[in-house]
Amino acid sequence: MEEQQRRALRRGRARLVGALRVEPLWDPLEQRGLFTRPMLEELQSAGSRGDQARQLIIDLETRGKQAFPVFLSILRDTGQGDLAEMLLQECKTQPVPAQLPDLRPVELELREEKQHKNVTPPERLSIPVQAESERPRIPSVPAWGSAAAKRSRDMDYEMKADPCGHCLILNNVNFSRESDLSTREGSDIDCEKLERRFKALRFTVLVRRDLKAQEMVLELLKLSRQDHSALDCCIVVILSHGCQTSHIQFPGGVYGTDGKPIPVEKIVNYFNGSNCPSLRGKPKLFFIQACGGEQRDQGFVVDCDSPQDEAPGGPLESDATPFQAPPGNVDEPDAITCLPTPSDILVSYSTFPGFVSWREKSTGSWYVETLDSVLEQYARSEDLLNMLLRVNVFSHLLNMLLRVANAVSAKGRYKQIPGCFNFLRKKFFFLCN
Number of domains present in the structure of the chain: 2
Q: Is 291 a catalytic residue?
A: yes
**Residue pLDDT, tens place only, 82-118:** 998 998 888 876 554 444 333 333 333 334 444 444 4
Does 196 lie in the same domain as 82?
A: no
Q: What is the mean pLDDT of the chain?
A: 75
Does 39 lie in the same domain as 163?
A: no
Does 228 lie in the same domain as 83?
A: no
- Assign 24 a pLDDT band (cuts: 50, 70, 90): very high
Residue 277 has pLDDT above 80, yes or no: yes
CATH code (residue 328): 3.40.50.1460
Residue 394 has pLDDT above 90, yes or no: no
Does 169 lie in the same domain as 78?
A: no
Higher-scoring residue by pLDDT: 385, 115: 385
Does 83 lie in the same domain as 186?
A: no
Given this model, what pLDDT does residue 288 score? 93
Q: Residue 313 is part of which domain span?
A: 158-422
- Assign 339 a pLDDT band (cuts: 50, 70, 90): very low
Asked whether residue 99 is assigned to any structural domain, the reply reads: no
Residue 41 has pLDDT above 70, yes or no: yes
Does 180 lie in the same domain as 77?
A: no
CATH code (residue 52): 1.10.533.10
Given this model, what pLDDT does residue 117 score? 47
Given this model, what pLDDT does residue 153 score? 55
Given this model, what pLDDT does residue 231 score? 96
Q: Is 243 a catalytic residue?
A: no
Residue 391 has pLDDT above 90, yes or no: no
Given this model, what pLDDT does residue 357 score? 53
From 92, 111, 139, give the residue that closes a domain: 92
CA distance 247 to 228: 28
From 76, 92, 108, give the residue that closes a domain: 92
Q: Which of 167, 243, 276, 291 is catalytic?
A: 291
Q: What is the pTM of this model?
A: 0.57
Higher-scoring residue by pLDDT: 2, 309: 2
Does 57 lie in the same domain as 178?
A: no
- Assign 290 a pLDDT band (cuts: 50, 70, 90): confident
Does 263 lie in the same domain as 372?
A: yes
Does 295 lie in the same domain as 408?
A: yes
Q: Which of 191, 241, 243, 420 is catalytic?
A: 241
pLDDT mean over 132-147: 43
From 73, 92, 111, give the residue that closes a domain: 92
Asked whether residue 112 is assigned to any structural domain, the reply reads: no
Does 172 lie in the same domain as 85?
A: no
